[in-house]
């Protein structure tokens, strides 16, 4: 039954497609048998709606990254964030979202190697801001209903695999750093500072971009982690995981920490290729990449 739903996602008959369906069937079955999945997991997995199926696959793949953690008992599975793990005495909630590729050009999503296409960085960035906002709003309801405690760590896991350029990851933004870091720290493309007289390069850094405009010309903040209204969000777990590693594909992962978090996530607690932290010195913050916990 699971394989039939997976065939709806990747219908091809070749060695790679067969290997992917076999691996994802095993991953989803492992998650289902763990006793940790939402009661409606199989219903949504089998509904033949790509958005819901990819959400289920994403949860199963995140579980595969977490399965070495300690999972405390929960009163009601399906009520609250997707995962609850512990780090010592701390409770760590993880909420998963797999944004749909709404607004992205078809020639980007299904790229033809023989044709040119442009990088829809604004559209991708807006999908990330929308995903993070949706889960930030969800956190408010979890806190008000006492499902999540104000003392708990809360992580938003965004799986951007559906925003890919065909088989190629789009997790990196115009800054050459993860889009997740751009949308919470407010930085953008590289900029070069010249001396006006000598025209020599004085400094190279990233531009400050605290907001962008969406298709309706509304201002969308990209300053989330500098805004204390979001201090209950401990980190963003930026993922681009879709199971393609079974045939050598890339599945990058990064953790972006909130420097103003009330309950910070411990460094290297989640598997990643690197982590982004904001280091304060003399009243200023510097964004640094540190080593991650390798999968």
pLDDT digits (tens, 9 = 90+) for 115-167: 777 899 999 999 999 999 999 999 999 999 999 999 999 999 999 999 999 88
Total residue length of the chain: 295
pLDDT band (50, 70, 90) for residue 62: very high
pLDDT at 294 over 80: yes
pLDDT band at 248 (very low <50, low <70, confident <90, very high): confident
Domain ranges of the chain: 1-68, 84-264
Compare 182 and 294 and report the one with higher pLDDT: 182
CB-based burial label for 9 (10 Å; 0-12, 13-18, 19+): middle
């Amino acid at each position: 039954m699971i394989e039939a739903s997976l065939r709806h996602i990747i219908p091809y008959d070749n060695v790679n497609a067969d290997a992917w369906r076999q691996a994802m069937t095993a991953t989803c079955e492992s998650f289902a048998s763990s006793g940790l999945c939402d009661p409606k997991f199989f219903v949504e997995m089998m509904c033949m709606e790509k958005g819901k199926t990819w959400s289920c696959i994403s949860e199963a793949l995140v579980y595969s990254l977490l399965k070495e953690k300690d999972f405390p008992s929960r009163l009601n599975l399906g009520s609250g964030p997707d995962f609850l793990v512990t780090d010592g005495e701390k409770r760590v909630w993880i909420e998963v979202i797999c944004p749909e590729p709404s607004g992205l050009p078809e020639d980007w999503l299904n790229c033809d190697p023989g044709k040119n296409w442009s990088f829809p960085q604004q559209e991708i960035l807006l999908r990330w801001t929308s995903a993070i906002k949706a889960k930030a709003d969800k956190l408010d309801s979890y806190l008000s209903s006492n499902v999540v405690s104000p003392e708990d760590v809360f992580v938003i896991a965004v799986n951007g695999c559906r925003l890919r350029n065909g088989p190629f990851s789009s997790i990196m933004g115009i800054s050459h750093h993860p889009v997740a870091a751009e949308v919470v720290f407010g930085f953008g493309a590289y900029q070069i500072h010249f001396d006006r007289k000598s025209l020599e390069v004085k400094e190279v850094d990233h531009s400050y971009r605290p907001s962008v405009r969406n298709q309706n010309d509304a201002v969308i903040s990209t300053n989330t982690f500098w805004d204390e209204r979001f201090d209950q969000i401990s980190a963003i777990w930026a993922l681009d995981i879709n199971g393609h590693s079974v045939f050598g594909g890339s599945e990058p992962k990064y953790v972006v920490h909130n420097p103003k978090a009330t309950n910070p996530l411990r460094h290297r607690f989640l598997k990643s290729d690197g982590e982004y932290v904001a280091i304060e010195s003399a009243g200023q913050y510097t964004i640094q990449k540190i080593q991650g916990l390798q999968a």
